[in-house]
Amino acid sequence: MSFPPAAPAQQPQPLQPRPKILDFITGNANKLAEVRAILGDVPGLDLQSRNVDGFEIQGTIEEIARDKASRAASAVNGPVLTEDTALEFQALKGLPGPYIKYFLQALGHDGLNKMLAAYEDKTAFAVCTFAYCAGPGSDPILFQGRCQGKIVPPRGPPVFAGWDAVFEFEDGQTYAEMEKEKKNLISHRGKALAKLKAWLAGGELEP
């Protein structure tokens, strides 16, 4: 299935009803497991998954997230949840940012480290943005989590494909070295999902 053009967005709808059935747009089984581990006990929510192919625009993290959710909602003609991840290097003024997937594919873990070889500052910010769109024409709602760490040579088992092995959290462990329960609690994804979970349970939107 391919994305059709995004439907025109209406005005923000902060009082949107919470969905009972929600399609999480992903083909990544590990990512789905992390999301289900956190959202699985939301009362009355049936979280399903669907893989929808489509292209991503270039822009800010928020622009990409809104566009992706709008297109996915049009594709499935119903409520969807999408996720976008970014990795911002402080020394490079935010790069690779939302394009980290392509940098990782081209350079690998060693290449990400080499990008910062000339800089003393290895600080990085992991950013996760979940976007909920109620359906075609609805304005997506964003739930964002950020986590500070630094880029290090890869450590930990290659359980989760991505940059987990090179992102060291403030406690000295890379994401790849952490137990799943701990990572789900402190990670950028965990923080974003905590906001989403509170909203799905009837809470107010958090900044």
Is 111 labelled a binding residue? no
Is 85 labelled a binding residue? yes
Is 194 labelled a binding residue? no
Is 27 labelled a binding residue? yes
Is 183 labelled a binding residue? yes
Give the end-to-end CA distance of the chain in Å, rounded to a whole number.
33
Residues 186, 170: contact at Cβ < 8 Å? no
Distance, CA of 48 to CA of 81 (rounded, Å): 10
**Residue labelled with tokens 């489509």:** 54
Is 97 labelled a binding residue? no
Distance, CA of 89 to CA of 79 (rounded, Å): 33
CA distances for 107 relative to 113, 162, 201, angstroms: 9, 12, 41
Is 109 labelled a binding residue? no
Is 56 labelled a binding residue? yes
Look up residue 101 and give its two tokens: 């997937």
Please give the annotated binding residues, written as ranges. 26-31, 56, 68, 84-85, 183, 188-189
Please give the annotated binding residues for ITP, written as ranges. 26-31, 68, 84-85, 183, 188-189
Please give the annotated binding residues for Mg(2+), written as ranges. 56, 84
